[in-house]
Amino acid sequence: MMKKIALIYMGGTFGCVGEPLAPMPAEKFIPLLQHVLPLQLDIECFVSPVIKDSSACTAEDWLRLTQFIQELQQKQYQNFVIIHGTDTLSYASAVLANCLGHSAHVVLTGSQYPLLNVKGDDTREFTDTIDNLNFALESVVKCAQGVYLAFHHRLIHAQTALKRHTTELDAFTGIEENTPIYANTDAIQVNDALIAKAQDFNCVSLMWQPISVDQQIENLALFLKNPPNALILQGFGTGNIVVNEKLIQVLQNIQAKNCAVIITSQVPFGLLDQRYAVSEWISHAKFLVSNSLSQADLYAKALKMYLKYDAVDQWHDHWKN
């Protein structure tokens, strides 16, 4: 029995035309997109509740997309391909993975070049759109339940995706689908109340720099006046950050204002490791340590914690779940 695929268009370079590139209105683009879809597959096209340049997307937009997918699930759709811009494609993938878990077959894709020529009246002579879209459509009916990113013939676990190059066709890297990972499997039902709450989600990720501890303290002290919901500290190597008691106290003061302080690494892949003396302070300072699979996945996990729990103490109680 042929599996029906819901193809959801959310914008991005894929649907841009003109010079400079600008998005074609969805109602004009979808009929042109349908002309290039493979005839052997049962595909129904949908317009996402939000269409915008992906660099402008926020948690609210991805939650609206998740809600739309969950509404289609209630109509018996179980296979979804999403066309999304590449700038925040890894973040969209991670948010969907954390919200949908293994409740459906979901594959996100995008392109480095548009589908259409400058005038928008024919397909572009050189484009990666058709190749990426066909690969995503083929993958969604074969992959196990979960969320994936399909790009340049690579099917990647969504929570591990990282954009590795600004212009090359092979733009994304991560752990490929044929390698098992420990990933989020539980879904959350997205409703209007959660979407409204997400509008106020404030997450700051601070990449640690090789400057003096005193300068770090001054920088961190700025967050005491208006702390975010989550402060992510990207240390060196396996999460190493050089501190003193004053710096730890500043971080604890920030956390006391209901801000989750999370330690992670600037290094894209690999687990954190606190065997070094320079990281010994983390074990007794009572900060959260990332157990996510990428920076985008850590953002998505922080978002999920914020949506589910109002107090940072609850984040600590459920962080390892």
- On whether both 266 and 206 belong to a single domain, the answer is yes
* Structure confidence by residue, pLDDT tens digits, 30-54: 999 999 999 999 999 999 999 989 9
Residue 187 located in a structural domain = no
* Structure confidence by residue, pLDDT tens digits, 130-147: 999 999 999 999 999 999
Give the mean model confidence (pLDDT) for residues 225-247. 94
- On whether both 8 and 125 belong to a single domain, the answer is yes
Residue 178 located in a structural domain = no
Q: Domain range for residue 101?
A: 4-173
Most confident residue range from 16-20, 48-52, 150-154, 177-181 = 150-154
State the Cα–Cα distance between residues 90 and 110, nearest whole angstrom.
Answer: 11
Residue 181 located in a structural domain = no
Split into its structural domains, the chain has a count of 2
Give the mean model confidence (pLDDT) for residues 69-84. 97
The answer to whether residue 226 scores a pLDDT higher than 80 is yes
The Cα diameter of the chain in Å comes to 65
At residue 321 the predicted structure's pLDDT band, cuts being 50, 70 and 90, is confident
Residue 272 located in a structural domain = yes
- On whether both 213 and 299 belong to a single domain, the answer is yes
The answer to whether residue 83 scores a pLDDT higher than 90 is yes
What is the predicted pLDDT for the residue at 141?
95
Strand boundaries in the chain, DSSP class E? 4-9, 16-17, 22-23, 42-47, 79-83, 105-109, 146-151, 154-157, 162-163, 172-173, 203-207, 230-235, 260-265, 288-289
- On whether both 143 and 207 belong to a single domain, the answer is no
* Structure confidence by residue, pLDDT tens digits, 239-288: 899 999 999 999 999 999 999 999 999 999 888 876 666 577 887 888 99
State the Cα–Cα distance between residues 136 and 108, nearest whole angstrom.
Answer: 7
* Structure confidence by residue, pLDDT tens digits, 90-130: 999 999 999 999 999 999 999 999 999 999 999 999 999 99
Residue 194 located in a structural domain = no
Tell me the CATH number at 289. 3.40.50.40
Question: 153, 173, 193 — which closes off a domain?
Answer: 173
Residue 258 located in a structural domain = yes
Residue 186 located in a structural domain = no
Residue 179 located in a structural domain = no
Tell me the CATH number at 11. 3.40.50.1170
What percentage of the chain reaches a pLDDT higher than 90? 87
